[in-house]
Chain A
Amino acid sequence: MSEGKTMSQTDAEKKRKFRSAKRMREIMTEYYIDAKTAGQSGKKVAWITSGGPVEPLIAMDVIPVYPENYGAMIGASHMGGDLCAKAEALGYSTDLCSYARADIACALENGGPIGGLPRPDMLVCCNNICGTVLKWYEIQARLFNVPLFIFDTPFCHVDFADEARRYVRSQLDEYIAFLEGVCKTKFDYDRAMEVGRLSLKGQRLWQDVLDAAAHRPSPMTAFDAFFFLALIVTLRGTQKVVDFYTELLQEMKDRVEQGISAVENERYRLLWDNLPVWYRLKWLSDTFASHGACLVADTYTTAWCGSMKYIDENNFIESMAEAYTRIYLNIGVDEMVKTIFEMIDKYEVDGLVMHSNRSCKPYSFGQYDIMRMVQEKKGIPCMMLESHMVDERSFSESQASTRIDAFMEIVRQRGSRTGTAL
């Protein structure tokens, strides 16, 4: 038993832990083992970007591997600083995305927490998340000398133009032709439709899981969401993912029923913007919790169920064009803020925590404007934390701590949205 805690306190802690976490780890372990032994099983491996169209890969029995997901693991294992430094020694600027720097170094030495990613047979790069992935995947294409497919999704500042729709739709056909060429098998459109249905089902379940946090008190925090996100990103379109999130959703419902609060004495509800600070999840979670604050939602994990409104279940392939182009990061700042306003209302948010992520310009430039719009329209306080998401050398705990304390002071003064001042 930990010192200074009562029996009921540690029981409460145990209750707050998620059962599903164990199953999640099992699935992710199996997944990485499959990927690393693909050579023996005769399956092909594709490296794909986190916003890339994975469903055709699943339909072709290609194992999708996500350097960005591995980047998160590298960050969480505190291996990012070392790998980023190695990339810098190779000539890569310290200002570049830390996912990219870490992966570039990692690929050359089979680094990171699982001894490197399996060699890709092909690279699939979709620039809906940023322009950095284009450069990153060009680098890996040169290194591995394997075919590279680029899925170019034009930026939608204010709308999704007809010419963009035509262009992206053509590229879906080109993508399928590319896969047929690399795999030397025919694309099974029926199978793809089934994968599409499972993908949509998975996305709906993920949305339902995130919705559970609307409950007061919330049964989960954004930090839990960051952990449970991995499956909908990596294996979207599989039955395994549908089964897992069905289980997780049930656990959320159970927790709500049992009144399990992710944060003991939840008083304040906050919204997180941008990617996580991967190497400080526990510290951030504990720090906010110590103020009675629960990060009930975030704009990052929502991105993997945000395109559902564009998907036509009976015409998955066609509707992929719009679904993959109109994601959260590929739209104008004034469009993004609409989603933030909705989330503030839905989750009854008292304050906005923005991660000014040096590793992600598309996500970070515009935050000041969003902050002002939120303050004006919703009247809630906002704060900023700065870092490189995977390079722990960039983080100042004392600065972050000071800012969080100051921010929470303001949040406390304004009181929570139910009007109960404390």
Chain B
Amino acid sequence: MEILNEFIEVAANPAAYAAKIKASGRPVIGYYCSYTPEEIIHAAGMHPMRLFGSKGDTGIADRHLQAYCCSLVRGALAESLSGGLDYLSGTVFPHTCDSIQRLSDIWRLNTSHGFFADVVLPVKLNTESARRYMADVLDKFRKELESYFHLTISDEDLNASIRTYNAIRGSLKEIWELKSHNPGLLSGSDLSSIVRASMVMDREALKDDLRSLLEELGEGKPSGEAKGKRLMLVGNVCDHPDVYTLIERSGGQVVWDDLCTGSRYFEGMMEEGSDPISSIADRLFERQVCPAKHKSPTARGEHITAKAREHGVQGVVFLYLKFCDPHSFDYPYLREYLEKAGISSMLLEIEDRLPPEGQLLTRIETFTHML
């Protein structure tokens, strides 16, 4: 599985990959959220790169952020302050949650990575005025990139970018569907590597590599027995491939997800046409909602339950970062929705480091055995 190994390598060491891109002369623009309009960055000829923050000792962030802050935000700041992001030519902060909102200010005041943009997207995703505002904000972002880098981003550039991203997302979705249909085909950890590498790799090369990967997967035999209870992960950012491995060792298989580093990244296509900015806005508008945004009081519950049913999910593992307010607030009602649909769930709140392996194995095993 040659191509797969490339993905695994990039996911394991994204900074090395980014340094190569920078060395080739292309500006690398970092971001932390799936609402980032990367299509616009790509259309500008820049390289959009998802960042995940430092793990482990984030003490350097203590000068700016209290302990009751999620590890993504603390890790992000720590990575920058300790010089780990010197390859960046810019960063973009779409409006996400209160923590990212303040990280943006602290970042702007304490770091210098060149280009900086706040993309204050609407929180509401269910009115005409919000849709108009969304498009206005994206257009402003396009102009900010043009102005800072002294270039023009034409509608053709945007449409070409839309084509590329549709292809990427279509392929990722296909891979996910294959896994759901045939869980033994690919390990969860490999799947995690694929999606995270997709947020880091050169998008044109990625488009082709994903097609090659799909061919490889089509030819290959399933890499293991398709046993294990069918599980779905629901949460925010997961860049701990070990979680998947532990789930597999505990009698489970992750067959679908609702994660920022999962289906929320690839769901939704964009229309090419005379108003590409609106197309990009429409996708962000229509895509299944993240808890930091509002579609309706029950939209997320309905969506997750429907997806769980669609993929024959037997149990849901809520997996999100400690101190994440939007996800924590949603948890009780989502749990209830799923219970009503006959689907049990468990909660794993994690920080930058996973809890001890033995502890996790016991907890997940207890859960899968009960299903």
Q: What is A's interface to B at a CB cutoff of 8 Å?
A: 90-93, 95-97, 100, 127, 130-132, 134-136, 138-139, 141-142, 148, 150, 152, 154-155, 157, 161, 163-164, 166-167, 170-171, 174, 332-334, 356, 358, 361-362, 364-369, 386
Q: Any chain A CB within 8 A of the CB of B13?
A: no
Of B21-29, B117-125, B216-224, B354-362, which stretch is located at the interface?
Answer: B117-125
C-alpha gap A130/B127 in the complex (Å): 20
Residues of A close to B115: CB separation below 8 A = none
24 sampled A-B residue pairs with Cβ under 8 A: A95-B325, A96-B328, A127-B123, A131-B97, A132-B98, A141-B297, A155-B118, A163-B137, A164-B120, A166-B136, A167-B133, A167-B136, A171-B127, A332-B105, A333-B102, A334-B105, A356-B66, A358-B66, A361-B325, A364-B68, A365-B99, A366-B105, A368-B64, A369-B109
Residues of B close to A171: CB separation below 8 A = 127, 129
Q: Mark B287-301, 1 if CB is under 8 A from A, else 0.
A: 000011010011000
Check if A174 sits within 8 Å of B328, measured CB to CB. no
- B98 touches which one: A161, A166, A334, A361 (CB < 8 A)? A361
C-alpha gap A170/B129 in the complex (Å): 7
Q: A157-B118, A167-B133, A362-B98 are in contact. Are A369 and B124 (CB under 8 A)?
A: no
Q: A132-B325, A362-B98, A365-B66 are in contact. Are A142 and B298 (CB under 8 A)?
A: yes
C-alpha gap A189/B103 in the complex (Å): 41
Check if A148 sits within 8 Å of B103, measured CB to CB. no
Q: What is B's interface to A at a CB cutoff of 8 Å?
A: 63-66, 68-69, 95, 97-99, 101-106, 108-110, 118, 120, 122-124, 127, 129-130, 132-133, 136-137, 140, 291-292, 294, 297-298, 322-323, 325-326, 328-333, 335, 349
- A362 touches which one: B63, B101, B120, B322 (CB < 8 A)? B101
Closest to B63 in A: A368
C-alpha gap A154/B326 in the complex (Å): 17
C-alpha gap A134/B96 in the complex (Å): 12
Check if A368 sits within 8 Å of B97, measured CB to CB. no
Check if B98 sits within 8 Å of A131, measured CB to CB. yes
Q: A95-B322, A361-B102 are in contact. Are A163 and B118 (CB under 8 A)?
A: no
Would you give the shortest CB distance from B279 to chain A, in whole angstroms? 18
Residues of B close to A364: CB separation below 8 A = 66, 68
Check if B297 sits within 8 Å of A155, measured CB to CB. no
C-alpha gap A46/B298 in the complex (Å): 21
- A368 touches which one: B65, B132, B330 (CB < 8 A)? B65
- B105 touches which one: A93, A157, A163, A170 (CB < 8 A)? A157
- A167 touches which one: B65, B99, B130, B291 (CB < 8 A)? B130
Check if B118 sits within 8 Å of A92, measured CB to CB. no
C-alpha gap A397/B361 in the complex (Å): 40
Residues of A close to B105: CB separation below 8 A = 157, 332-334, 366, 369
Check if A163 sits within 8 Å of B136, measured CB to CB. yes
Residues of A close to B98: CB separation below 8 A = 130-132, 361-362, 365
Residues of B close to A333: CB separation below 8 A = 102, 105-106, 109
Q: Please report whether the interface of chain B is mostly helix, strand, loop or mixed according to DSSP.
A: helix
Check if A157 sits within 8 Å of B64, measured CB to CB. no
Residues of A close to B297: CB separation below 8 A = 138-139, 141-142, 148
Given contact pairs A93-B349, A142-B333, A333-B102, enumerate 5 new A-B contacts (beta carbons under 8 Å). Answer: A135-B330, A150-B123, A163-B137, A361-B99, A366-B105
Check if B129 sits within 8 Å of A174, measured CB to CB. yes
Residues of B close to A132: CB separation below 8 A = 98, 325, 329
C-alpha gap A95/B326 in the complex (Å): 12
Residues of B close to A127: CB separation below 8 A = 123
Check if A95 sits within 8 Å of B129, measured CB to CB. no
Check if B328 sits within 8 Å of A92, measured CB to CB. yes
Residues of A close to B108: CB separation below 8 A = 157, 332
C-alpha gap A142/B95 in the complex (Å): 25
Residues of A close to B118: CB separation below 8 A = 155, 157
Residues of B close to A334: CB separation below 8 A = 105, 109
Check if B66 sits within 8 Å of A154, measured CB to CB. no
- B332 touches which one: A92, A131, A163, A366 (CB < 8 A)? A92
C-alpha gap A150/B289 in the complex (Å): 16
Residues of B close to A93: CB separation below 8 A = 328, 331, 349
Check if B106 sits within 8 Å of A369, measured CB to CB. yes
Closest to A173 in B: B129
Check if B65 sits within 8 Å of A358, measured CB to CB. no
Residues of A close to B291: CB separation below 8 A = 135
Q: A136-B329, A365-B66, A368-B64 are in contact. Are A131 and B129 (CB under 8 A)?
A: no
C-alpha gap A167/B291 in the complex (Å): 21
- B140 touches which one: A91, A134, A150, A163 (CB < 8 A)? A163
C-alpha gap A358/B67 in the complex (Å): 9
Would you give the shortest CB distance from B119 to chain A, in whole angstroms? 10
Residues of A close to B63: CB separation below 8 A = 368
Residues of B close to A136: CB separation below 8 A = 329
Closest to B96 in A: A131
Would you give the shortest CB distance from A228 to chain B, in whole angstroms? 28
Closest to A337 in B: B109
C-alpha gap A93/B105 in the complex (Å): 26
Closest to A132 in B: B325
Residues of B close to A92: CB separation below 8 A = 328-329, 331-332
- Which 8 pairs show the lowest CB-CB distances between chains A and B? A135-B329, A163-B136, A91-B332, A365-B102, A170-B129, A167-B133, A93-B328, A333-B105
Closest to B65 in A: A365
Check if A164 sits within 8 Å of B133, measured CB to CB. yes
